[in-house]
Amino acid sequence: MFLKSLTASVMLLCATLQATEFSNGGFEKKLYKGLPTSWGGKAILKNGEVKPPGSSLDAAEFKEGKQSLKLELSTEDKVIILNTKLGKVVPEKVYEISFWCRISENCRVAIREDHIMSNGKCNSKLFKNFQIINGPTAWKKFSAKVAAKNGDDQLGVSVFIDKGPGSVWLDGFDIQEYEINAGDEVSFRLTPNFYTQNNIFSLPRLAPLMPYLTCANKAQHKFKNPRVILELPEQIQLLSCGYDSTEYKTAEKFNKNGQPYVRYEYTMGVPKSVMRTPDFSKTTFNSVIPLLFTDAVASEKVYKCFIAYKDDTLTCSPSEFGIRITDKIIQTATPKEFSTGIHCGSSVEYNGDPLKKFMMFYKDCGFNNIFLPETLRAGGITEQGMQRDPAPVYDAAREQGLATYLSTNCLINAYMLRYTRATV
């Protein structure tokens, strides 16, 4: 966590940079006192001393122009820091920052976005790493969307290199205003690695499961009464929309491309979390998590599904994702040396019939015990109103004949099932 320990040092460095337009992202100009033109920086040694970074211009290794910047992290170095101002920005606009990077050995590179005010100082409250790269790695281009905030005059970047020893090459830093088409201000995609491949979610028959639909608020739209609209083939049912979401309009049947569909409209729960990022770089907590169910026949067919954002001032185009219905999960007896539990980073967020269906599915899989984290709670819409309450989760488990136990294990990956080796 070297970044925290160097905050004061980097703030000072940021404040002393000259207010100039970005002109040396490709490192084509000569070094001055060991630093690229328009860049500031230093190396901090493990003994606390400060010196110029071990940098050079490399005409043999580069991706753009005629050369790149090469930085050497020695065994005596704790960290190398570089930073620059990328140029003037318009508050509330979104910008794309891109660059090339190559790393030898085990160096780590962290790139932080700097929001620079009109007085030339960085707003430390907005410090955030948008890229962390662990070496070794060949040349690769990285990019991220960064939203300019109120009070920003310029955007900049700070580069931190630690671990090592080793070498890092940088090239082609660039910033461009992010062009957003009308209707594409807010979009979604299936989060990779959650039973997902090529934006297709595998949904077993008779198994209530949740795809993660990550949100990209590309325009950093300021929401007012945000909702999500899900259009699903009639073979796939929406049981709940999670995250304190409530039904906004009654579900309605309609035809889409000659096929029977059902349209659902729900409020978006915790929109400050779901809509905080202009791209898909954050998952789980930036996702809408619907609970889906099907009793349709399994096949290789991919059902086209759609999710769209809507509020009182903006209606976006639907984002498409696919669902493939797979065979029912085979019932099995749980091995005696294993127990299992629900681990979550937020909460189950389901109550009533959806919660009952989930516990029935859990029991049908052969499990007899369930370990519930101390922070696991039923969805916000319970008999007590918006108060989140763990009692319905325990009650629903016990009604299905499950023995319940309290767990204080670390919570991971928002919501998932996981085998946990029993202690007895």
| CATH code, domain carrying 43 | 2.60.120.260
In a domain, 261, yes or no: yes
Helix (H) / strand (E) element for 221: namely: none
Is the CB of residue 160 less than 8 Å from the CB of residue 71?
no
SS3 378: coil
Query: In the listed set 264, 293, 326, which residue is the last one of a domain according to the structure?
Result: 326
Do residues 210 and 261 share a domain?
Answer: yes
Q: What's the pLDDT at 242?
A: 72
Do residues 95 and 214 share a domain?
Answer: no
Do residues 249 and 162 share a domain?
Answer: no
Residue ranges making up the domain that contains 358: 338-421
| CATH code, domain carrying 250 | 2.60.40.10
Do residues 33 and 162 share a domain?
Answer: yes
Number of domains comprising the chain:
3
Do residues 18 and 141 share a domain?
Answer: yes
| CATH code, domain carrying 370 | 3.30.750
User: What is the rounded distance in angstroms from the CA atom of residue 401 to the CA atom of residue 403?
Assistant: 7
**Residue 181: which residues within 8 A CB-CB, separation 6 or more?**
none
Q: What's the pLDDT at 406?
A: 65
Give 10-residue mean pLDDT values along the chain (424 residues): 40 37 82 90 94 94 95 95 92 91 94 94 90 93 89 94 94 91 93 75 86 90 94 95 84 96 94 88 79 93 97 96 88 50 46 78 77 54 53 83 65 35 29
Nearest to 114 by CA among 69, 162, 152: 152
In a domain, 259, yes or no: yes
Calculate ∠ Cα 227-233-236, nearest 5°. Answer: 85
Do residues 59 and 203 share a domain?
Answer: no
Is the CB of residue 231 less than 8 Å from the CB of residue 256?
yes
Do residues 221 and 314 share a domain?
Answer: yes
Question: Can you tell me which residue has the tokens 């789980």?
Answer: 284
Q: What's the pLDDT at 380?
A: 47
Do residues 16 and 60 share a domain?
Answer: yes
**Residue 201: which residues within 8 A CB-CB, separation 6 or more?**
190, 194, 195, 211, 321, 322, 323, 324
In a domain, 333, yes or no: no
Do residues 294 and 345 share a domain?
Answer: no
Query: In the listed set 150, 177, 204, which residue is the last one of a domain according to the structure?
Result: 177
Do residues 412 and 354 share a domain?
Answer: yes
Nearest to 41 by CA among 24, 66, 62, 60: 24
Q: What's the pLDDT at 241?
A: 85
Q: What's the pLDDT at 15?
A: 35
Do residues 11 and 152 share a domain?
Answer: yes
Query: In the listed set 265, 297, 326, which residue is the last one of a domain according to the structure?
Result: 326
In a domain, 45, yes or no: yes
Do residues 23 and 120 share a domain?
Answer: yes
Q: What's the pLDDT at 364?
A: 79
